[in-house]
């Protein structure tokens, strides 16, 4: 794994500093390391689901989650992140907040700083408090403040650019606060008005090499014109939330059509069972914060 990581970093440097070689390498390299243009991540933070996890917010209509199965699936998720080369900090369950295993929503972590969010869901707003001392060990902190609201599930990074979804959870004031912080560190951003999805990354995810995995609706959005889009049919929508991490792509198990599309495009996805998180509207990206 370390060797692959090294080779990817070397590739990234060549890509950045030598444009001609980069074009050739990009063509050859994609067949070997489809995700090689992704920035390498080193750390992840996760939180074990709490025993009242079933009391979290959901619109899925898939029945109550099985707590013991959720714990098993969470353990396998952490193992998968470790196999992708990440050092994982796993936090204890937090009984006060049934949705607290979905840590992605509590922060946006960039190389320079961790931005603590202000979740739009009232029942989740205080989740951020216990994340602060954890993230402080890695980064200095900045904050999204009221009246701004923002959840990490609405933030999609593509290299040095960020797409920020405007949803019921993330309002324009919160998105613009994040944008201002990002600009300060030399990143750019685009706001993405959304109609129905819970979060932006519920329906569109960057999986490296200029590829987006996207719902039919997002695939038509002119904001994403410059990407190569792999469309996900409405009945497979849950699988639009795949997790590209270092040289790997993790996808939810049981979506053969999406698996096929990804394989034909050169990916070799790792499947994970996450049924008990789907029941609570959570996907693969929601379960961790990942950073360098
Ligand atoms: C919620 O509704 O907030 C949780 N039940 C699911 C959050 C999923 N998070 C994410 O997509 N980033």
Q: Give the model's pLDDT for residue 13.
A: 45
Q: Which atom of ligand 1 is nearest to the CA of 241?
A: 11
Is the shortest distance between the CB of 104 and ligand 1 below 6 Å? yes
Rounded Cα–Cα distance for residues 112 and 4 (Å): 25
Is the shortest distance between the CB of 153 and ligand 1 below 6 Å? yes
Q: Greatest CA span in the chain, whole angstroms?
A: 55
84 Cβ contact list (under 8 Å, min separation 6): 1, 245, 246, 247, 248, 250
Is the shortest distance between the CB of 276 and ligand 1 below 6 Å? no
Q: Give the model's pLDDT for residue 14.
A: 45
Neighbours of 143 (CB within 10 A): 15
Domain parsing of the chain, residue ranges: 1-33, 34-291
117 Cβ contact list (under 8 Å, min separation 6): 105, 106, 107, 108, 128, 144, 149, 150, 151, 152, 174
The answer to whether the beta carbons of residues 288 and 74 sit under 8 Å apart is no
Q: Can you say whether the dihedral through the CA atoms of 274, 207, 291, 176 is positive or negative?
A: negative
In sequence order, the β-bridge partners of residue 248 are: 245
pTM score, two decimals?
A: 0.89
Q: Give the model's pLDDT for residue 39.
A: 74
The CATH code that applies to domain 34-291 is 3.75.10.10
Is the shortest distance between the CB of 57 and ligand 1 below 6 Å? yes
Residue located nearest, by CA, to atom 1 of ligand 1: 57
Q: Give the model's pLDDT for residue 38.
A: 60
The four Cα atoms 179, 200, 170, 73 give a dihedral, to 10 degrees, of -110
Catalytic residue, candidates 50, 84, 101, 199: 199
Per-position pLDDT tens, the chain of length 292: 333 334 444 444 444 445 454 444 444 444 444 554 467 999 999 999 999 999 999 999 999 999 999 999 999 999 999 999 999 999 999 999 999 999 999 999 999 999 999 999 999 999 999 999 999 999 999 999 999 999 999 999 999 999 999 999 999 999 999 999 999 999 999 999 999 999 999 999 999 999 999 999 999 999 999 999 999 999 999 999 999 999 999 999 999 999 999 999 999 999 999 999 999 999 999 999 999 9
Residue 199 bears catalytic tag: yes
């Amino acid at each position: 794994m370390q060797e692959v990581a090294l080779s990817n970093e070397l590739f990234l440097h060549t890509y950045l500093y030598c444009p001609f070689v980069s074009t050739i390498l990009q063509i050859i390299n994609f067949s070997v390391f489809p995700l090689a243009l992704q920035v390498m991540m080193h750390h992840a933070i996760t939180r074990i689901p709490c025993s009242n996890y079933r009391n979290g917010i959901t619109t899925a209509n898939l029945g109550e989650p099985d707590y013991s199965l959720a714990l098993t699936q969470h353990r396998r998720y952490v193992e998968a992140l470790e196999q992708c080369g990440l050092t994982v900090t796993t936090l204890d369950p937090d009984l006060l907040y049934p949705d607290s295993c979905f840590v992605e929503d509590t922060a946006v972590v960039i190389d320079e700083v961790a931005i603590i969010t202000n979740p739009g869901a009232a029942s989740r707003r205080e989740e951020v408090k216990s994340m602060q001392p954890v993230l402080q060990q890695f980064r200095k902190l900045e904050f999204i403040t009221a009246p701004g609201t923002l959840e990490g599930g609405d933030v999609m990074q593509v290299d040095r650019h960020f797409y920020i979804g405007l949803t019921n959870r993330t309002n324009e004031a919160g998105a613009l606060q994040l944008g201002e912080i990002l600009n300060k560190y030399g990143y750019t951003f685009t706001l993405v008005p959304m109609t129905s999805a819970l979060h932006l990354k519920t329906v569109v995810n960057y999986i490296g090499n200029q590829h987006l995995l996207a719902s039919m609706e997002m695939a038509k959005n002119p904001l994403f014109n410059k990407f190569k889009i792999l469309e996900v049919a409405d009945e497979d929508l849950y699988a639009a939330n795949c997790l590209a991490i270092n040289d790997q792509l993790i996808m939810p198990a049981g979506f053969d059509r999406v698996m096929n599309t990804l394989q034909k495009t050169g990916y070799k996805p790792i499947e994970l069972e996450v049924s008990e998180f789907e029941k609570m509207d959570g996907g693969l990206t929601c379960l961790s914060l990942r950073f360098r």
